[in-house]
Structure 1
Amino acid sequence: MSSELSNNEKGLLLQLINGDTDAFAEIYDLYKDRIFAFAFTLTKSKEIAEEATQEVFVKLWEKRDQINTEYPLTPYIKKITYNYIISFFRKVKLDKQLQQNLYRNMEALRNSNEDELLQKELNKLYRRAIEELPQQKRTAYLLSREQHLSYEEIALQMGLSKNTVRNHMTEAIQFIRTYITNHADLACLVLAICIHRKMG
């Protein structure tokens, strides 16, 4: 938010509370790109990011009477965004395709160097999922993903058949996907950090 707007922010918020659509449009222009960037960073989906942006401003308009003009608007919009993303995670838990997409997107973020803090938190979540795997599945998964061994090499090292290793890997990947999307408390921690970095 520019210094000029900061000096007039209280008046702008009072106009919004009173239902001034011009004030709402000005606030929309100021914040829409930040909200979209956050949602797109997480979901890697333009459609979902656009939907999230629109929903946040619908909620802002509906709840404008709850705005406290003694404080900046940023924390209030963060709260609305945070609540929307929690709802998104709940939806993902019921939708297998969204669950798989979210897993892939979190994997991409985990391997990205664009935001070291976000990467660190995603790594923690990912590691906790791996630690919950049964021992043989965990061993096979780590040999494949961290030591880059082939299924045949893993089978020889573990004294298993190649098909057993393949089954271990399939089940381990599915478990990690489910773990990440079902642990809303951990996921929301990542989201809170992302919101803070993208909108702070």
Structure 2
Amino acid sequence: MSNSEKGLLLQIINGDADAFAEVYELYKDRIFAFAFTLTKSKEIAEEATQEVFVKLWERRNQIDANYPLTPYIKKITYNYIISFFRKVKLDRQLQQNLYSNMEALRNTNEDELLQKELNKLYQQAIEQLPQQKRTAYMLSREQHLSYEEIALQMGISKNTVRNHMTEAIQFIRNYITNHTDLACLILAFCLHKQGS
């Protein structure tokens, strides 16, 4: 757990709305993707995402700043989805829709699903690169240009291109490593469904 995350949590506990907004930006996509994977409904996933953060804010005094936020926020998400499943039992149409969505998910090859999620994380990482690094990386990976050709096209030195590439690759690796929890959750869910 980083000191910056602990600092954010302490600020949230003290009612800092700006710190809460920062945490929202950090976690909203992961929560939405997890909820969407389980329900296959954009509307329900959006509702779940909003509800999770409402509950997080309401229960901010229960947050322990000495522990990472991820397990705590996952628990809130999990509880919301379970509550949703129980609610669905009372609505036949919703139940039928959910059943169809789950069947589609169960029939998806788990390797294919995991690869899809990893590709999504890869694209997200690229989008977060600074402009110069992103340009150099895309010219190398997508257009297969040499460092010398990239340097010529971007008007920078070959050594600068090399530095951009090294830092871009490191950032992308770190980003995917730090976000693979979602992909693993999805894979585990699929394996559970296939075994049931």
Task: Name the TM-score class by shorter chain.
Answer: 0.5 to 0.7
Alignment correspondent of 1:90: 86
Which aligned pairs between 1:28-39 and structure 2 lie closer than 5 A? Answer: 28-39=24-35
Cα distance per residue 1:135-193 (max 9 Å; x no partner): xxxxxxxxxxxxxxxxxxxxxxxxxxxxxxxxxxxxxxxxxxxxxxxxxxxxxxxxxxx
Do residues 18 (structure 1) and 89 (structure 2) align?
Answer: no
- Structure 2 counterpart of 1:110: 106
* Alpha-carbon displacement from aligned partner over 1:38-91 (angstroms, at most 9, x marks no partner): 111111111100000000000000000000011000011011111101110110
2:191 maps to 1:120: yes
* Secondary structure, aligned partner of 1:71: coil
Shift of 1:118: 2.9
Tell me the equivalent position of 1:62.
58
* TM superposition outliers: structure 1 runs of 4+ over 6 Å: none
Separation of aligned partners in 2, 1:117 and 1:108: 16
In structure 1, what is the Cα distance between the partners aligned to 2:188 and 2:6?
A: 33
**Number of residue equivalences:** 121
**Percent of paired sites with the same residue:** 79
Matches within 5 A, 1:136-155: none
Amino acid at match of 2:93: Q
- Give matches, 1:34-45, under 5 Å: 34-45=30-41
Corresponding position of 2:67:
71
Could you tell me how far apart the structure 1 residues matched to 2:188 and 2:77 are? Answer: 20
Q: Secondary structure at the match of 2:64?
A: coil
Which blocks of at least 5 consecutive residues in structure 2 are unaligned?
115-186
The answer to whether structure 1 residue 9 and structure 2 residue 5 are counterparts is yes
Alpha-carbon separation, structure 2, partners of 1:74 and 1:48 = 21
Measured after TM superposition, the shift of residue 117 of structure 1 is 3.5
**TM-score, normalised on structure 1?**
0.58
In 2, Cα distance between equivalents of 1:108 and 1:42: 11
TM-score, length basis structure 2: 0.59
In structure 1, C-alpha distance between the alignment counterparts of 2:35 and 2:55, rounded to whole Å: 16
Alpha-carbon RMSD across the aligned residues, in angstroms, is 1.3
Which one of 48, 54, 79 corresponds to residue 52 of structure 1?
A: 48
Give, as a single letter, the amino acid of the residue that structure 2 aligns with 1:51: E
Q: Secondary structure at the match of 2:89?
A: helix
Which amino acid letter does the alignment assign opposite residue 20 of structure 2? Answer: F
In structure 2, C-alpha distance between the alignment counterparts of 1:90 and 1:83, rounded to whole Å:
11
Structure 1, unaligned runs of 5 or more: 126-200
For 2:127, the equivalent position in structure 1 comes to none
Relative to structure 1, the CA distance from residue 19 to residue 43 in structure 2 (aligned partners, 3 Å threshold; closer, same or farther) is same
User: CA shift at 1:119, angstroms?
Assistant: 2.6
Mapped partners of 2:16, 2:60: distance in 1: 11
Q: Give the counterpart letter for 1:62 in structure 2.
A: E
